């Protein structure tokens, strides 16, 4: 069972989780996006990341890890 979060809440959680990853301290998640036609579970994605001074290889790895981990905990509330 996952916990519903608004787009703003989920963006903040994803941003903090990404910045806590090694080499991603300057990266940021500007927004998460809902996936169409998915009502339960991992119904959102991280479409864009600002790199800052982080290396793209560090950020790529971290985004996949963060999305997988947070997708098991949170879902995007419908209508948000």
Residue 79 has pLDDT above 80, yes or no: no
Provide the whole-model pTM: 0.90
For residue 62, what pLDDT is reported?
96
Q: Count other C-beta atoms under 10 Å from residue 79's C-beta.
A: 6
Segment 14-69, tens digit of pLDDT: 999 999 999 999 999 999 999 988 877 789 999 999 999 989 999 999 999 999 99
State the Cα–Cα distance between residues 14 and 28, nearest whole angstrom: 9
What is the pLDDT at residue 39? 72
Distance CA 19, CA 25 (A): 4
Q: What CA–CA distances, in Å, run from 65 to 34, 37, 41, 79?
A: 18, 23, 16, 26
Task: Give the per-residue pLDDT at 77.
Answer: 92
Residue 80's pLDDT is 64
């Amino acid at each position: 069972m996952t916990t519903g979060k608004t787009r703003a809440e989920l963006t903040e959680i994803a941003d903090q989780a990404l910045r806590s990853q090694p080499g991603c301290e300057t990266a940021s998640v500007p927004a998460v996006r809902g996936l169409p036609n998915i009502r339960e579970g991992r119904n959102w994605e991280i479409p864009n990341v600002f790199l800052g001074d982080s290396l793209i290889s560090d950020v790529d790895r971290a985004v996949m890890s963060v999305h997988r981990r947070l997708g098991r905990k949170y879902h995007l509330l419908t209508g948000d």
